[in-house]
Amino acid sequence: MFLVGALILLAIIFVAAFASKWRVPLVVISLVAGMLFGSGVLNIVPYPDYGFARQLADAALVFVLFVGGFSTCDKRFKAVFAPAMILATIGVIGTAAITGSLLYFLLNFPWQVALLVGCIIASTDAAAIFSILRTRSLDPNMSALVEIESATNDPMAIVLTTIAISIVITQGGGGDHGQGQYILIALKLVWQTVGGIGIGLLIGWFACRASKYVAELDKGYFYVYIVAIIMLSFGIADLCKASGILSAFFAGFMLGNSNISFKSTTTTFLESLSTMGNVVIFVLLGLLVLPSEFGSVYKDGIVLFLILTFIARPVVVAVCTFFARYGLREHLFMNWSGLRGAVPMVLATYPLAAGIEGARYIFNIVFFAVFLSMAIQGSTITKLADKLKLATKAKPKPKQVMELVAMHHSDLELVEMDIDDSIYGGSEPVPISSFNLPAGTTVTMVNRNDKIIAPTGKTEIFPGDILYVLVKISEVDNATAAIRGRFSSKNTQVMQTVAQT
């Protein structure tokens, strides 16, 4: 099994390196790898048990969503809070309702099944969005809206799917279908949502304060601590019958927006966990697929993809952002950025694990629609951003970084400051001694073309340099203004040139 696992992972890596020029998402490659090695094609890996597959996929999903919360910046969250949260809640409900209604009328699905499929496929995929868009720099507000929506709408879809399965089982079992049953379902939704958020924030608050004691140990223990917090946030919420997924996301949000030790290296560690989690999820889901069954579902799968992409998503975006100031270009991009991915495919295993009649068909139709979404939208979204002039090529991350590791509380912050050459290119170099920095502020390191410079007062700073500045938290804005204010932006240079002529 270890040998087979190694072969699958190596195949994914080498294919990803080869296919990067065509912008094929990693999740698509992982999915195809699972299908190829599964019982439907090469039959190298035995067909997995549905219950085990769901448990393993859920476990990986918890880590993915915790990382989504950890990487969600508090400031960016506040900037687009209203439209992002409306899309992540009302938008998910609206997508499920529109999709389910059209499946009921167009494909004659039983209403319970139509509702279940609509709930399963209602959320967009954070992992796919993050991995695809990191090669482009979007407008900050647009980027924040798309990323935060995709990171926060998965829990709502999970809660709705769980409730929809309860409805299907209740209807099929001939139980009480009265008003009381639906009131209980509504209360369950409220508790899972509110309880999940509350428990997650509480666990995150506790984790932030306890982290300073763990930080005094070896760095490796801190990573183990983070993994334990991820598991704790899910486990306590699950024990309380609240949403463990929501709890994990908001625990990550609290930690990610707190001044914890080893934050930079922890971010790298969590990004690796997220990537591995997504690979595990999509390989596992690929193993569940039998390509021979596509002949009976592909037409309905195409219809489901078209309903989502060209009807449900545009309507939901238009309604949920009605009062926001977004133009046609932004709306077009938001419509096309509604990728379906890991969460809908994991949720598609829930009916299988629950033993619902027709669950295999539900899984196949969802799989086919999600595959089309990732393959078509995922491979063209950056091209659309370029066409709409909403993006530029992202700058590569520096290979060397610094991190402030404080064992005890400190009012200092180590700030990474980029003298962006796309803004300040053409400016004359400026010596550090000429910066009018706040008292106690020090430029500790300069990264120039991935070469490290230990600066002195005479060191000259050029456009394109990355500075690491040790500064009091209360003086970060003043230090930033003092440094960047010594450089002329390209717009200023143009105006000066025109004035001289």
* CATH classification of the domain holding 426: 3.30.70.1450
The domain containing residue 308 runs over which residues?
2-38+56-173+180-390
pLDDT at 498: 38
Are 478 and 369 in the same domain?
no
Are 160 and 305 in a shared domain? Answer: yes
In 121-241, where does DSSP find H-type helix? Answer: 126-133, 140-152, 154-172, 179-214, 219-239
In-domain check, residue 158? yes
Greater model confidence, 500 or 400? 400
Which of the two residues, 284 and 173, has the higher pLDDT score?
284
445 and 490, same domain (yes or no)? yes
Residue 306 lies in a domain: yes
Query: Does residue 365 belong to any structural domain of this protein?
Result: yes
Question: Is 46 a member of any domain?
Answer: no
* Residue 226 confidence (pLDDT): 95
Residue that finishes a domain, picked among 323, 356, 390: 390
Closest CA to 128 of 399, 327, 322, 344: 344
Burial environment of residue 474 by CB neighbours within 10 A (0 to 12, 13 to 18, 19 or more): exposed
Statement to judge: residues 362 and 479 lie in one domain: no
395 lies in some domain? no
Please indicate, yes or no, whether residues 17 and 108 belong to a single structural domain of this protein.
Answer: yes
List the strands of the sheet with 451-453, edge to edge.
412-418, 466-472, 442-448, 451-453
CA angle centred on 29, ends 148 and 301, rounded to 5°: 75
Q: Is residue 398 part of a domain?
A: no
Question: In whole numbers, what is the pLDDT of the chain averaged over residues?
Answer: 84
303 and 435 within one domain: no
pLDDT band per the 50, 70, 90 thresholds, residue 46: confident
When divided into structural domains, the chain yields a total of 2
Kindly state whether residues 312 and 451 are assigned to the same domain: no
Confidence band, pLDDT 50/70/90 cuts, at residue 396: low
Pick the last residue of a domain from 390, 422, 457. 390
Q: Is the pLDDT of residue 423 over 90?
A: no
φ/ψ of 137, rounded to 5, equals: -105, 110
Listed ranges 59-68, 106-115, 488-497; the one with the highest mean pLDDT: 106-115
Domain end position, chosen among 357, 390, 423: 390
So what's the pLDDT on residue 499? 44
Distance CA 464, CA 245 (A): 40
Which of 402, 431, 418, 413 has the alpha carbon at shortest distance from 484?
418
pLDDT for res 392: 62
Asked whether the predicted pLDDT for residue 447 surpasses 50, the reply is: yes
Encode pLDDT of 160-175 as tens digits: 898 889 888 877 654 4
Does residue 407 sit within a domain? no
pLDDT digits (tens, 9 = 90+) for 90-136: 999 999 999 999 999 999 999 999 999 999 999 997 666 766 665 56
Q: Are residues 369 and 446 in the same domain?
A: no
Dist. CA 263–CA 282, nearest whole Å:
28
469 to each of 266, 275, 443, 444, how far by Cα in Å? 20, 30, 4, 6
Helical ranges in 243-326 per DSSP H: 244-256, 263-287, 298-307, 313-320
Structural contact between residues 340 and 375, judged by C-beta atoms closer than 8 angstroms: no
Evaluate if residue 402 carries a pLDDT over 80.
no
Confidence (pLDDT) at 245: 83
- CATH code at 331? 1.20.1530.20
d(CA 493, CA 476): 26
266 with 350, same domain?
yes
Region 338-365 average pLDDT: 89
Name the more confident of 315 and 246. Answer: 315
500 — pLDDT class (breaks 50, 70, 90): very low
Do 486 and 438 lie in a common domain? yes
Long-range contacts of the stretch 80-87 (C-beta < 8 A, 24+): 80/141, 80/144, 80/145, 80/148, 82/324, 83/145, 83/320, 83/321, 83/324, 84/144, 84/145, 84/148, 84/149, 84/152, 85/152, 86/320, 86/321, 87/145, 87/149, 87/153, 87/316, 87/317, 87/320, 87/321
Residues 69 and 167 in one domain: yes
For the stretch 235-261, pLDDT in tens is 999 999 888 888 998 999 999 988 788
In this predicted structure, what is the pLDDT of residue 140?
66
Residue that wins the pLDDT comparison between 27 and 302: 302
Instruction: State residue 483's pLDDT score.
Output: 92
Q: Is residue 45 part of a domain?
A: no
Rounded average pLDDT over 20-37: 83
Q: With a cut of 60, say whether residue 44 has pLDDT above it.
A: yes
Let me know whether 201 and 141 are in one domain.
yes
